[in-house]
Amino acid sequence: MFNAKIKEISEKFVVDIGSADTKEMLKEIHSSLLGKKGIITDLLKEMAYLDVEAKKEHGKLINILKTTCENAMGIRQKEIEEVLLLKEFESGKVDITLPSRMPLSGNIHILTQVEEEIISIFQNMGFIPVDGNEIEDDYHNFEALNIPSYHPARDSHDTLFIDDKYLLRTHTSGMQVRIMKETSPPIAALSPGKCVRHDAVDAKHSPVFHQIEGFLVDKHITFGDLKGCLEHFCKKMFGEKTSIRLRPDYFPFVEPGADISASCIICNGEGCKTCGYEGWIEILGCGMIHPKVFEHAGYDPYLYSGFAFGLGIERVAMIKYGVPDIRMFYENDIEFLSQF
């Protein structure tokens, strides 16, 4: 009689376990079978009224029932977990037929834009851009530009030497003598590129910056040609209403030398914080090529004359777009760069 009852209970629970669809349903079945008020608990209570032999027989059958049901629940729980996992995979599956997300599109960096604009203006005047060496030798960077080893002008460059002969160029002016040695006048050339100086970083200085050196050599070139060329550049770069101012300045590789300031495009020369309330912003240095430079190039300084100028690309960009700090060009701030 007891055997039949155990068999009936076992078959019923195996069917119930097999039809359970969730973990919660399995917990309910487990509670009805093994809980404090479960069927197996009731069967164990009934054994209190049996003799010793009957207890052994009944206890064995109850253990078989318990083991059978627990094994069935373990198998069903794994099956339910696999179904849930497959559903998660299905819900997270990527439909490859859908249009893809478009990647963020980049743009030409503001310094490159300004460099290209500067080159374009001078190209329209006949200047030809030429790439230079970022690692330069002492001769072309200094000696050929009338800056011998004892010259105090070297201190202002805070030079970074690689060894006794080579250094990271401090300006693109070193291309002057290189181009002149390879080309006969007339010459009108530009040399854009990266320069390095041992400068402390602040709002207007960076140890790495970009410069464009330009020079023109021919017979009968005058300071008036220099002024007219750079005035035309400033008007094209900053607007036709821009005025320029030349003041005497010293550079070892030009004689005479000057710095050129442009009327402030922020206040139109009235005076503001940007221009230090002077109405003028210094743009570049320039001058007539020094006879010593011509001698290093193998040119007759009595036959040929020419002018040279150098301008910082970052400085032009800061003035043109009202950027207050040079470091903003290098910080890779997308919100800042996307304005241009």
**Which of 62, 92, 122 is the last residue in one of the domains?**
92
The answer to whether position 53 is within a domain reads yes
Q: What is the pTM of this model?
A: 0.67
Report the domain count for the chain: 2
Domain CATH number, residue 180 = 3.30.930.10
Residue 79 shares a structural domain with residue 125: no
Q: What is the pLDDT of residues 193-213, one digit of tens each?
A: 999 988 888 888 888 999 999
Is the pLDDT assigned to residue 330 strictly greater than 70? yes
Q: What is the pLDDT of residues 44-61, one digit of tens each?
A: 666 666 677 776 777 777
Q: Which helix (H) or strand (E) holds 312?
A: strand 305-312
Residue 47 shares a structural domain with residue 165: no
CB 147 within 8 A of CB 250: no
Residue 68 shares a structural domain with residue 143: no
Residue 132 shares a structural domain with residue 83: no
The answer to whether position 104 is within a domain reads no
Residue 87 shares a structural domain with residue 143: no
Q: Domain residues for 22?
A: 2-92
CA proximity to 259, closest of 234, 222, 239, 293: 234
Residues 233, 335: Cα–Cα separation, whole Å: 30
Residues 206, 199: Cα–Cα separation, whole Å: 6
The answer to whether position 71 is within a domain reads yes
Residue 76 shares a structural domain with residue 119: no
Is the pLDDT assigned to residue 296 strictly greater than 60? yes
**Which of 92, 120, 147 is the last residue in one of the domains?**
92
Residue 84 shares a structural domain with residue 155: no
Residue 85 shares a structural domain with residue 136: no
